[in-house]
A and B are shown apart, each in its own frame.
Chain A
Amino acid sequence: MPEPELIEIPMTVDVPYRFSAGHFMGRFLTELRDNGTFFGIRCPRCGRVQMPPRVVCAVCHVPNTDWVKLGLEGTLAGFTIMYLPLTDPTTGKPHEPPFAYGSVRLDGSDSVVDHLLHVTPEVAHIWVGMRLRAVLRPQKDRIGDLSDIRYFEPLENQQKPEPKPSRKEPSDAR
């Protein structure tokens, strides 16, 4: 008797949604869309600059007050190379792997923003401490969400530093 046919059912759940960005993210996204600039916000108690801005300082829980204009350049604080597709919440479409995704600390900010890195997705080409610059959509195409940042690209003339010699050679001994 032949094996009975086995059935697989492809399913797609497509959920569009809308959220109110609120007072602080609203200003952040408006500045990004209209002027192509990033704004963070400084905690009046600890002086920490958060970007994207939030109503209260995540550490002190006091209301944030001082807006700080930040540049487009920053430093890579961490990264991952994706070998699986990742759904982009701004489009609902997956990014095709492999690609690099990283946390970038903009100059003058104490927090990081996670975004795509426009680099060869190999460890030899990416390192923590790498200097990066945000590449934005042209102004006429900007819509006021994080997809207005196309990606972060490396600044010119950088070399991945040589790894520091480790104190101990790795060993298989248990």
Chain B
Amino acid sequence: MPVEPFLVDQRITAQSRYFAGKTGSRFFTALRDHKKILGVRCAACNQVLWPPRSTCFKCFSPLSDSDLVEIGPHGTLLTFTRVHYREAVHPKKAPFIYGIIALDGADTGMAHFLDQVDFETLAPGLRVTAVFAEKRNADILDIAYFKPLP
């Protein structure tokens, strides 16, 4: 008996709750309440890490609230990519651009969205600034995206 090709549609939905930790909580509440971006300085390495963390990833020094420093909101684009296809793991509809941004005052970069930008002329080194969300919920999308500085 010939058999028609048979496709089965299924889905996995995973709910989770991520605890930001003590240092991460300071980072998110500063974003939500004051539109301030915090990094953390490791005195031993003399480096400012973004996002802030309670242990230096290089020398494992414990870091505390007194090491938190305000950074940004301007920064420099280190690298970028454009997502061309829609996939469930991406929080935005394609096409959109991910950039890795080193904020002024920080020594590490972090991934975020780039918008209001021409992809064709995009290049590392572009000066960008954070655009904060109107309604902020103490998560990383309190920064809506980064846009080029005029």
Contacts and interface: CB of A to CB of B under 8 A. Distances in A.
Contact of B6 (A6, A26, A94): A26
B14 A87 contact: yes
Contacts of B24: 7
B30 to A, nearest CB: 10
A29 B8 CA distance: 9
Contacts of B28: 7, 9
Interface residues of B, number: 30
B8 A19 contact: yes
A2 interface: no
B13 interface: yes
B82 interface: no
Contacts of A145: 8-10
Interface in A62-80: none
Dominant SS among interface residues on chain B: mixed
B3 interface: yes
Contacts, number: 115
A144 interface: yes
B1 A27 contact: yes
Nearest to A12: B15
Contact of A7 (B8, B9, B138): B138
Given A5-B25, A15-B88, A92 B17 contact: no
A30 interface: yes
B40 to A, nearest CB: 15
A8 B6 contact: no
Contact of A144 (B8, B19, B25, B29): B8
A25 interface: yes
Interface string A1-35: 00011111111111111111111011101100000
Contact of A27 (B3, B12, B139): B3
A171 interface: no
A26 B11 contact: no
Given A4-B26, A15-B88, A92 B8 contact: no
Contacts of A9: 17-18, 20, 28, 138-139
Contacts of A17: 9-12
Contacts of B1: 27
Contacts of B29: 4-5, 7
Contacts of A93: 13
Interface in B1-45: 1, 3-20, 22, 24-26, 28-29
Interface of B: 1, 3-20, 22, 24-26, 28-29, 65, 88-89, 138-139
Shortest Cβ-Cβ A-B pairs, 8 listed: A26-B6, A92-B11, A92-B13, A7-B25, A21-B6, A16-B11, A7-B20, A15-B88
Given A14-B12, A22-B6, 17 more contacts: A7-B29, A9-B18, A9-B28, A9-B139, A10-B15, A13-B13, A16-B9, A17-B9, A17-B12, A18-B8, A19-B10, A20-B5, A20-B6, A21-B6, A29-B6, A92-B10, A94-B13
